[in-house]
A and B are shown apart, each in its own frame.
Chain A
Amino acid sequence: MILQGKGLTKQFTGLLALADVDMCLRENEVLGIMGPNGAGKTTLFNLLSGYHRPTRGNITLLQTDITFFKPYQIVKMGLARTFQLVRPFQELSVLQNVMVGSVFGPGRKVSMAEGEKVALEILEFVELSHRARALGKTLNIQERKRLEIARALASNPRVLLLDEVLAGLTPTESQEAVVLIRKIREEKNISIIMVEHVMKALMELSDRLVVLNYGRKIAEGTPDEVIQEKEVIKAYLGEKTSA
């Protein structure tokens, strides 16, 4: 068990965004999070990465309780995330963008020279080397998504949270991204949690799925098990009235 959340609850004013959710991530596993809009997927990510503090519950990463850690401390512990709305540093070059991750992300102090070396390797890995000197703001959407992943990888994480990295991509680009995610898992030995609306990709990539609806976990299991669950079908397609 590399990452574990117990009884995670997040109460916003007038809205229970997440209610008593247990989840865990195993070594070298891809865990998919699915659920309709507003189900609490992004809230779960924000709790795990330290952007929100849970109202109740706790989070353990590699035997350390990180429930009240700040985002920059959590990266250094080995959990990196991407954002749904990609946020490249506009005025920095692609290389500098990745260097922010490789210099400040790891748990130890990294020099600029070493950070640059790591960043160049990562850019090679995500196939973005040809854009290394371009400014962040000049990238197209596919390149931005790759940069987002590259920056997160640069911190040398054990766990990677991918928040809708396929959204906004064309089917071809999306397929290329799926290949990249597989490559991350196989070559880097990183465990991945991904939130995705593209069901096909989620089914293809995930070892297990957790399904959320109205902030509650309604199903968990392998993709094949989960899509047969009544609750899941109900959440996605609605209930049959004439039964």
Chain B
Amino acid sequence: MHMQAYVKPVAIALIMLSLLLVPQFATTYTTSVILNILMWIGLVTSWLILAGFTGYISLGHGAFLGIGAYFVASYWQILPFPILILLSGLICVFVAAVVGYPVLRVKGPYFVILTLGLSEFVKYSLVYYEVNIRGTVGRILLRTPSLENLYYWVLVICLLSIATAYLIKRSRFGLALMSIKDDEDAAEALGVNAALAKWKAFAISAFFPGMIGAVMAMRWTYIDPYTVFNPMMSFQVTITAFLGGIAYVHGPIIGATMLTLLSQSLWARYPNFYMIALGVILIFIVMFLPQGLAGLLSKINVPGFIKDVFKNVSSPERRKEL
């Protein structure tokens, strides 16, 4: 019995240590794959701060990534890198706050379509600016930081987003958001300022993709509106979230790891097949796994430490049952 209490912290410490050591010991290829996984975990976890808690599915999350990337591309070698990353995040918070106020009044499918429309609007506005005003197609970034350097930045941002989601889930704010998800009118009748809570969640969730976009711009070294504002990014965030299970804080970790490994193994040789696989996975989750892989994991009897690692991370009522 006493042993079990140590399993979770020890496992987490081991995972953390190995993540810290990756750039020192792993090959460049492995490091870049893990960096990609961490990027997706950060994107999906931050997306869930709005979608997971309140049920407002945004298809505009990728736009914040693009804004962060473009901001860095514009000021690269003018401002120091850490400042650029932080500013990218803050600018996205600002954009989300301005856009979110009217947009979050729209509910259900209309909200989904509106966020997609807005991110396309940003993309084509930027295309227009690049082509007609600057006379360029995209931007090339020179003298970017090393892979190792970027890896640690993504790791920090990713952990920060997980910690944020975890803390929100246990807070007053989290309780307000979860009540909105089930019934916004009933939540208001009990004193929850739903408009304010959604607005805050949207702004917080935009902070992380902004920073991730800033770091990834350095990784990609070439930026143009069509690639960084590709709606596929937003779609994949959503698919990854549902694959992992949107009700669980550890859902994104499972979903992002699975999908990134799948894409790495298929993308190089059968690029079209990856898209087909993504479609099939989506259909499969919707029909058979509404709780995602994390939901599946909580139902089946997983032997060993895996379940111990995850069991305290799941919902509060389950935590109290144990």
Q: Is the CB of A96 within 8 A of B317?
A: yes
Q: Is the CB of B191 within 8 A of A76?
A: yes
* Chain A residue contacts of B170, Cβ below 8 A: 112
Is A13 in the interface zone, CB < 8 Å from B?
Answer: no
What A residues does B189 contact at CB under 8 A? 49, 71-72, 75, 80-81, 83, 152
Q: Is the CB of A104 within 8 A of B192?
A: yes
Name which residue of chain B comes closest to A82, CB basis. B189
User: Considering the chains assembled together, what is the distance between the CA atoms of A212 and B247 in angstroms?
Assistant: 46
User: Which residues of chain B are within 8 angstroms of A95 by Cβ–Cβ distance?
Assistant: 317
Interface residues of B in 289-322 (CB under 8 A from A): 316-317, 320-321
Chain A contacts with B in 70-117, Cβ cutoff 8 A = 70-72, 75-76, 80-81, 83, 87-93, 95-96, 99-101, 103-106, 111-112, 115
Cβ distance A101 to chain B, nearest Cβ, rounded Å: 4
Question: Does B90 interact with chain A (Cβ within 8 Å)?
Answer: no
- B186/A83 in contact, CB under 8 A: yes
| A106 x B182 contact (CB < 8 A) | no
Q: Does A151 contact B (CB under 8 A)?
A: yes
Does B181 sit within 8 A of A, measured CB to CB?
yes
Chain A min CB distance to B166 (Å) = 15
If the complex has contacts A49-B189, A89-B186, A91-B247, are A72 and B194 also in contact, measured as CB distance less than 8 A?
yes
- B182 with A90: CB separation less than 8 A: yes
Min CB distance, A103 to chain B, in Å? 6
Q: Are A72 and B192 in contact (CB under 8 A)?
A: yes
Tell me if A155 counts as interface (CB < 8 A to partner B): yes
Residues of B within 8 A of A99 (CB): 175
Q: Would you call B192 and A89 a contact (CB within 8 A)?
A: no
Specify which of A96, A105, A112 is in contact with B171 (CB 8 Å cutoff).
A112
A21 interface residue (CB < 8 Å to B): no
CB proximity to A under 8 Å, residues B179-235 = 179, 181-183, 185-194
A201 at the interface (CB under 8 A from B): no
Contact B191 A75 (CB under 8 A): yes
Interface: B103 (CB within 8 A): no
In the bound complex, CA of A100 to CA of B180 (Å)? 10
**Across-interface contacts of A151 in B (CB, < 8 A):** 190
Q: Which residues of B contact A72 (CB under 8 A)?
A: 188-194
Alpha-carbon distance between A200 and B181 when the two chains are bound, in angstroms: 38
Name the CB-closest residue of A to B187.
Answer: A100
- How distant is A61 from chain B, measured CB to nearest CB, in Å? 15
Classify chain B's interface size.
Answer: 20 to 34
Which chain A positions have C-beta within 8 A of B51? Answer: none
Q: Is the CB of A155 within 8 A of B182?
A: no
> How many A residues have CB within 8 A of the partner chain?
36
Residues of A within 8 Å of B194, CB to CB, are 72
Q: Are A92 and B182 also in contact (CB < 8 A) when A100-B176, A112-B171, A135-B317 are?
A: yes
A68 beta carbon closer than 8 Å to chain B: no
Given the complex, which residues of A lie within 8 Å of B171, measured CB to CB? 112
Shortest CB–CB separation between residue B60 and chain A, in angstroms? 25
Q: Shortest CB–CB separation between residue A160 and chain B, in angstroms?
A: 12
Taken together as a complex, chains A and B put the C-alpha atoms of A57 and B186 apart, in Å, by: 25
Min C-beta distance of B193 to chain A, whole Å: 5
Measured between beta carbons, the chain A residues less than 8 angstroms from B182 are: 87-92, 136
In contact, A100 and B317 (Cβ under 8 angstroms): no
Q: Across the interface, which residues of A come within 8 angstroms of B185, CB to CB?
A: 51, 71, 83, 87
- A-contact 0/1 string along B23-61, CB 8 Å cutoff: 000000000000000000000000000000000000000
A133 within 8 A of B: yes
Contact of B181 among A80, A91, A154 (CB under 8 A): A91
B172 within 8 A of A: yes
Give Cα A151–Cα B187 distance, bound, in whole angstroms.
10
State the CA gap A155–B179 with chains docked (Å): 15
Q: Chain B's nearest CB lies how many Å from the CB of A139?
A: 13
CB neighbours (8 Å) of A71 from chain B are 185, 188-189
Evaluate contact between A155 and B183: CB separation under 8 angstroms: no
| CB of B178 closer than 8 Å to a CB of A | yes
User: Hey, which chain A residues are within 8 Å of B188, CB to CB?
Assistant: 70-72
Residues of the B chain whose Cβ atoms lie less than 8 Å from the Cβ of A135: 317
The distance from the CB of A41 to the nearest CB of chain B, in whole angstroms, is 17
Apart from A101-B190, A115-B172, A133-B317, list 17 A-B contacts with CB within 8 A.
A70-B188, A72-B188, A72-B194, A81-B189, A83-B185, A83-B186, A87-B182, A89-B178, A93-B316, A100-B191, A103-B172, A112-B171, A133-B321, A135-B317, A152-B189, A154-B190, A155-B191
What are the 5 A-B residue pairs with the smallest beta carbon separation, nearest first? A104-B191, A89-B182, A105-B191, A87-B186, A93-B317
Report 19 cross-chain contacts, Cβ distance below 8 Å, ordered by A residue. Answer: A71-B189, A72-B188, A72-B192, A75-B190, A75-B191, A76-B191, A80-B190, A83-B186, A87-B183, A87-B185, A90-B182, A92-B182, A100-B191, A100-B192, A104-B172, A104-B192, A111-B172, A133-B320, A155-B190
